[in-house]
Structure 1
Amino acid sequence: MEESRRSFLKIGGISVLGLSALPVLQAVAQNDGPKFKPDPNALQARQWGMVIDMNKCWEEQQKRHCTDCIAACHKVHNVPDIADPKREIKWIWTDKYEHVFPDQAHEYVPEKIRESRFLLLCNHCSNPPCVRVCPTQATFKREQDGIVMMDFHRCIGCRYCMAGCPFGARSFNWGDPRPYLAEQNMEFPTRTKGVVEKCNFCAERLDVGQIPACVEACKAKALVFGDVEDPDSEIRKILDTHYTIRRKVNLGTGPNIYYIV
């Protein structure tokens, strides 16, 4: 009796809204209610991760000063090109070994490694500190695949996540970034002044069955993306047969970006 009364009140309340609420009324009338149906082609994993083979990357850089992965990522995600290093926005970038691996640097590191630049992006940590410190849940971790995401609409620009991230993987929009776009990808939202942004592992592409833009653009096949928790995946086979290092593992964040050097 109580359940019937509750259903009646729901339908009665919606009815006063007029015919514009008809789709909602139809949804309520169904026993199971409305359901979201993901794209059947969506790529799935328990924990997405990436292996970056820096030897292949360096070789390609020497051939033609390659920045294909950076260009592809920034084009797809409307990342503005701001020259001022204090205001720059970056999803993928490069830096020297001593800055990337300060806990592993020593005076006998081979010159090739010491002088070369490493490819960097958000580590999509298994235990992300940025998520814990965000007061509005604008930064969150997707339960289904471990991607650390950003909800630009929830971001209030407090920059706690930037302070919490030990990898410098986040950028803050000090001004409107849109004037700095050479061309705009209408399929991905542009940001506004006062919000933080970062790499999202191309979640929007994964959800429709496409691999990350950076991986697709890499002609040297230096980037391998996959499910690190699947023992039969390509990325796990690489991790099982190659020695890899990760950034600042002593901090306990559990980064999911691995480097072959």
Structure 2
Amino acid sequence: MKNNRRSFIKLAGIAAAGLGIAPRAMAAAMGGSAPIKDDPKGITAKQWAMVIDTTKLNTAKDIEKLAKVCHTVHNVPSIEGKQEVKWLWPDIYEHSFTEQENPHLPDAVTRRQYALLCNHCENPPCVRVCPTKATYKRPDGIVDMDYHRCIGCRYCMAGCPYGSRSFNWGEPRDHLDLDALNKEYPTRMRGVVEKCNFCVERLAVGKLPACVEASNGAIHFGDLNDPNSEIRAVLRERFTIRRKPSAGTEPSVYYII
């Protein structure tokens, strides 16, 4: 009995260590330390962040245009109703900034629509609760997904305080135009979670996120840790807020109000 128990504990320890090593190895690969040749065109940062200027981008129509660009690039299925899958979407102030209550806000602020997406938090609760490390934080601050490791438990959805994740209840390919797929980005399978990834696949080849390119200057993107970056200049010059600051997640998405 003692030997069996020792064997069980040993095997459990090895399995736990494997789960701990896997995400670190994956993160290392994303950081360029794996034996995979980096694209010389790729752009990097110590902490990617985004600033959305809501004085320029504030209507559902304009945000939905950006969402269409994002969803097309990432083969996001178009499903209506409760099974909707979304990476970028519009919502009102009351739903977007639940902790920024002020009954005397200008109508221009309360009547705007706000572009919502994954906040790529510095302290992401979704990463902590994922049992298979399918969701993980890269060295550059981006919270990414490994769809092959996702078992569909949806713990990450419960852990995310921003509602930024979607679950594929059905076969997502049934809701895609297969002739118009972006072959540079994988489609998903039934039973996995997905979300915005700050266009990691585009950054790797020297391109900015699709929504940033299509926003006509309404969305800024850059290295938050570089004091000389454009995004730091914007944050110094403009007043910004973030969603649910009391959650302690330290979102990397800022909003100019």
Classify the TM-score, shorter chain.
Answer: 0.7 to 0.9
Fraction of identical pairs, as percent: 58
User: SS of the counterpart of 2:50?
Assistant: strand
Aligned match of 2:41: 41
Aligned match of 1:187: 184
AA of the residue aligned to 1:240: R
Aligned match of 2:165: 170
RMSD across aligned C-alpha pairs, in angstroms? 1.4
State the Cα distance separating 1:35 from its structure 2 match. Answer: 2.4
CA deviations 1:196-227 (Å, max 9, x no partner) are: 000000000001111000011112x1000000
| Structure 2: distance between partners of 1:65 and 1:210 | 22
Aligned match of 1:228: 224
Aligned match of 1:210: 207
Which has the greater radius of gyration?
1
AA of the residue aligned to 2:50: M
Q: 1:245, 1:258 within 8 Å by CA — same for their partners in 2?
A: yes
| Structure 2: distance between partners of 1:154 and 1:235 | 33
Say yes or no: does 1:71 pair with 2:68: yes
Aligned match of 1:247: 243
Q: 2:64, 2:89 within 8 Å by CA — same for their partners in 1?
A: no
TM-score between both structures, scaled by the size of structure 1: 0.82
Aligned match of 2:253: 257
| Structure 2: distance between partners of 1:66 and 1:99 | 16
User: SS of the counterpart of 2:191?
Assistant: coil
Alignment partner of 1:198 out of 195, 198, 212: 195
Alignment partner of 2:138 out of 139, 142, 147: 142
Alignment partner of 1:105 out of 101, 107, 112: 101
Structure 1 segments (4+ residues) deviating >6 Å = none
State the Cα distance separating 1:67 from its structure 2 match. Answer: 3.1
| Structure 2: distance between partners of 1:232 and 1:68 | 31
Aligned match of 2:6: none
TM-score between both structures, scaled by the size of structure 2: 0.84
Alignment partner of 1:95 out of 86, 91, 96: 91
Stretches of structure 2 that go unaligned for 5 or more consecutive residues are 1-33
State the Cα distance separating 1:106 from its structure 2 match. Answer: 2.4
| Structure 2: distance between partners of 1:156 and 1:215 | 31
| Structure 2: distance between partners of 1:91 and 1:38 | 27
Aligned match of 2:19: none
User: SS of the counterpart of 2:240?
Assistant: coil
CA deviations 1:71-115 (Å, max 9, x no partner) are: 11000000111111x100000001110111111122212112112
Aligned match of 1:129: 125
Aligned match of 2:31: none
CA deviations 1:58-80 (Å, max 9, x no partner) are: 3xx49x75633211100000011
Q: 2:165, 2:195 within 8 Å by CA — same for their partners in 1?
A: yes
